[in-house]
Structure 1
């Protein structure tokens, strides 16, 4: 059994005026990300939207000293970007579609993702979204440590840092044994 984890494809991370945007790199993967997501939904595979959620002026969150405020609860910046928003609206009531608010880079950190995957017998996860070298990377490392087979859809991940993006793709393959597909 397999699942798709769609990571942080929101206005703040993808829109041109997003608070921490990948810009054109994130925008260019939209159709590939939509195609993968539609395929998983059509096949009734488990689709997880793992979306960064922050609170304004949270003095305890370590990202506050690293990045500008982004993906704040209740803002347009936290909404899914572009066509993915419509796809989610048309499918979110299905039992095979699940939304996770995440507080840390990894979709596994502080969430019930591992439990949700294991109760469905899922052993293989596919990752798409942003940022390749931050949230996708940390999710992949945690998935590796939990024993999941991992697949990265190369044309459906992006970063605001081209060097970090390429480094992460190499790290996935060379260090985690991830399957990287076009």
Structure 2
């Protein structure tokens, strides 16, 4: 079975920076272990990176979430160091979901696509739904133990919403 692991926005600002949370920090070891499993099996791994410019506060997102984060070139933009050796395919994205990721996955004939990362309730759910729209017959899964939301409650709400859209939650 051809499998793809999509590691969503495991960047410093979401882990322990501007928008970091204890829950995000807690998933890093599990995310690393999951990546190592896929790597050892020879499966494909891709990363997304939330990518903003210095004029972030002038964007719609910046006006609704006025916390500058993941500004390209800043320390907070960087992936967590432990994950860097595995980040050979990276998609920068200026918004929550990555059409480029969905197009890449659609071209790869994957039977299963698993998502892990941050934040469950924003970027993970956005990418999971895009992938499901692009690949309605592919098995899309989310490992809930390798994701964290803005809050524990919004994490659970996002998992429930994805279940309703036929995304398998582990």
The unaligned stretches of length 5 or more in structure 2 are none
Instruction: State the 4+ residue runs in structure 1 displaced beyond 3 angstroms.
Output: none
The residue number in structure 2 matching 1:135 is 123
The 2-side partners of 1:105 and 1:47 are apart by 19
More helix by share: 2
Q: Deviations over 1:94-135 (max 9, x none)?
A: xxx410001110122xx2x23322332213210000110000
The unaligned stretches of length 5 or more in structure 1 are none
Distance 1:59 1:169, change over 3 A: closer
CA contact (8 A) 2:116 2:124 kept: yes
How far is 1:8 from its partner?
A: 0.8
How far is 1:26 from its partner?
A: 0.3
The residue number in structure 1 matching 2:169 is 180
The residue number in structure 2 matching 1:154 is 144
The 2-side partners of 1:169 and 1:39 are apart by 23
Q: Which moved more, 1:125-134 or 1:158-167?
A: 158-167
Query: Cα RMSD between the aligned structures?
Result: 1.6
How far is 1:58 from its partner?
A: 4.4
The 1-side partners of 2:74 and 2:128 are apart by 27
**How many positions carry a matched residue from both structures?**
166
How far is 1:10 from its partner?
A: 0.8
Determine helix, strand or coil for the equivalent of 1:29.
helix
1:32 is the counterpart of 2:30: yes
1:19 is the counterpart of 2:8: no
The residue number in structure 1 matching 2:93 is 102
Q: Deviations over 1:10-41 (max 9, x none)?
A: 110011xx1122x1100111111111111111
The 1-side partners of 2:34 and 2:93 are apart by 22
The residue number in structure 2 matching 1:116 is 104
The 1-side partners of 2:159 and 2:32 are apart by 20
How far is 1:73 from its partner?
A: 0.6
Q: Deviations over 1:54-99 (max 9, x none)?
A: 0001476321112211100100001112422xxx2x344xxxx410
Determine helix, strand or coil for the equivalent of 1:47.
strand
> What TM-score do you get using the length of structure 1 for normalisation?
0.84
CA contact (8 A) 2:24 2:147 kept: yes
